[in-house]
Structure formats: structure tokens, C-alpha cells
Amino acid sequence: METIFDHNVNEHELLRLFGTGIDRKLYMCSQSDPDGHNGLLFHLYSIRRNQSVAKRYLKRIKDPNYVVDLIECNIVNGE
């Protein structure tokens, strides 16, 4: 499973995603759901303003309610 750490996430992006820094070990212990990984990758690429890659991860999410939540969150945050 791909994670944000496979995509060279930096400290600034970690702060935007989590509100604090987080290391790979803690992240892996707290995130086991594939939809969650893909949701964070969607957010990461939204932060990076790379919408084509962000949409690719959004399409991998199986829970339609989670997709709606992610899109609404991006709109509220201006991403």
C-alpha cells in the first residue's frame, strides 16, 4: 500500500495534513485502511496543487461517503 511517505512528504505538508509532525512508524500504526491512505494521498496532492494526481487517488477510494467528505473538506480549505 502506498503512503504519503512514499511520495516524499515534507514537514510543512505533514503539518497541513495532521496539524503536527508525524513519523512513518506512528503513521503506519495509526493508518491501516486503504481508503485512508488514498484519502491522505488525495490531500497531499491537493496541497501540492497537482489535481490530476489527486483525482487518481480519489478514484481509488471505495467508500462513496468518504469521497464526498474529502471533496467537501478540500472546498472548505480552498485546496
Task: Give pTM, 2 decimals.
Answer: 0.85
Q: Kindly report, residue by residue over 6-24, the tens digit of the pLDDT.
A: 999 999 999 998 887 777 7
More confidently predicted of 26 and 10: 10
Burial (CB count within 10 angstroms: exposed 0-12, middle 13-18, buried 19+), residue 54 = buried
Domain ranges of the chain: 4-77
What mean pLDDT is reported for the chain? Answer: 88
Which among 42, 73, 40, 79 is positioned nearest to 59, based on CA atoms? Answer: 42
More confidently predicted of 68 and 19: 68
